[in-house]
Amino acid sequence: MQEGKELLRMVDVEFSYPGSKTKILSDINLHVDYAEFVGIVGPSGTGKSTLLRLMCGLLKPTKGKVYFRGEELRGPNQKISMMFQLPNLLPWLTILENVKLPLISRKDMSEEEKEELAMRFLDLVGLSGYASAYPRELSGGMQQRVALARALVVLPDLLLLDEPMSNLDPLTALALMRELEEMWFDSSLPPASVVMVSHSIDEVIQLSDRVLVLKGRPATIVAELKVELERPRNRKDEAFLRLVDEVMMLLS
Ligand code: ADP
């Protein structure tokens, strides 16, 4: 891992959806370093998901540029994975087949290697016992963990998380967050860096090294905060609560 080096950069990015005159994002300048966990907060409908889709090449900026590992990003890249609010598993495939899916076109790997890798990540999210089950047999929280395994199976350098806990009940959300935190502590695991969008300020401060505050119409980054609290973080700590207040003030 090339710690300290830059993984992704957005330069003067502006975005409107094709066919629409409404500018969603403007003047977006940001970077994500290797080994960094960046959180993005902002009110609902500001453009956080849009920003993540620009970071993974699913959308193209109307103006400006996105660079990934120093090269302009011109479309989806195998080394960038995204996890959405909903697991989006294919109901007719088993859990193992769902996790293996992103590897389907890889010619440099044998079927056994693909299966081994998929099993490794299913095991990591505690679901290796469900490899031959179908999505309908799993709870929402378990399906979201399968989606995490599927996002990791390509060994991404950058993992983009779009409110991954927002559709889960609070206890399941907390369990998934702990899993993400543990994964983050284990440097032998991918990804190198994570960008997580959330409307939960607590979640973002719990996990991030740096928090970007997105606000306005069109939206832009109005503030950037470093979170220098020791990990694992305690949500009841005074310093933690102070940071939550600070972000709330910036958003209000
Ligand atoms: P957030 O993730 O912060 O809730 P989004 O990025 O989903 O915000 O949406 C930002 C704005 O872009 C919203 O006003 C939304 O209505 C608009 N938008 C989202 N997707 C599309 C689309 N496919 N076409 C046109 N407008 C869209």
Q: Percentage of the chain surpassing pLDDT 70?
A: 98
Residue with the smallest CA separation from ligand 1 atom 14 is 45
Residue 202 Cα to chain centre, angstroms: 16
Task: Out of 44, 50, 167, give the residue to mutate to test ligand 1, the one with the largest number of ligand atoms within 8 Å of its CB.
Answer: 50
pLDDT at 191: 79
Q: Would the CB of 46 count as within 6 Å of ligand 1?
A: yes
Residue 175 confidence (pLDDT) above 60: yes
**Lowest mean per-residue pLDDT among 89-103, 115-129, 185-199, 212-226:** 185-199
Residue with the smallest CA separation from ligand 1 atom 13 is 45
Task: Out of 14, 20, 49, give the residue to mutate to test ligand 1, the one with the largest number of ligand atoms within 8 Å of its CB.
Answer: 49
| Residue 4 pLDDT grade (very low, low, confident, very high; cuts 50, 70, 90) | low
- Helices first, then strands: H and E counts in the chain: 7, 10
Residue 192 confidence (pLDDT) above 90: no
47 CA to middle of ligand 1, Å?
6
195 φψ region: left (φ > 0), alpha (ψ -120 to 50), beta (else) = beta
pLDDT digits (tens, 9 = 90+) for 39-71: 999 999 999 999 999 999 999 999 999 999 999
For residues 200 and 247, the answer to whether their CB atoms sit within 8 Å is no
Q: Would the CB of 50 count as within 6 Å of ligand 1?
A: yes
Q: Would the CB of 42 count as within 6 Å of ligand 1?
A: yes
pLDDT digits (tens, 9 = 90+) for 115-134: 999 999 999 888 999 999 99
More confident: 232 or 98: 98
Q: Longest Cα pair distance anywhere in the chain, in angstroms?
A: 53
Contacts (Cβ under 8 Å, ≥6 apart) of 95: 89, 122, 127, 130, 131, 132, 133, 134, 135, 138, 146
16 CA to middle of ligand 1, Å?
10
| Residue 1 pLDDT grade (very low, low, confident, very high; cuts 50, 70, 90) | very low
The backbone torsions φ and ψ at residue 119, rounded to the nearest 5 degrees and listed phi first, read -65, -35
Residue with the smallest CA separation from ligand 1 atom 20 is 50
Residue 2 confidence (pLDDT) above 80: no
46 CA to middle of ligand 1, Å?
7
Residue with the smallest CA separation from ligand 1 atom 5 is 47
Atom number in ligand 1 closest to CA 214 = 3
More confident: 127 or 232: 127
Residue with the smallest CA separation from ligand 1 atom 23 is 17
pTM: 0.93
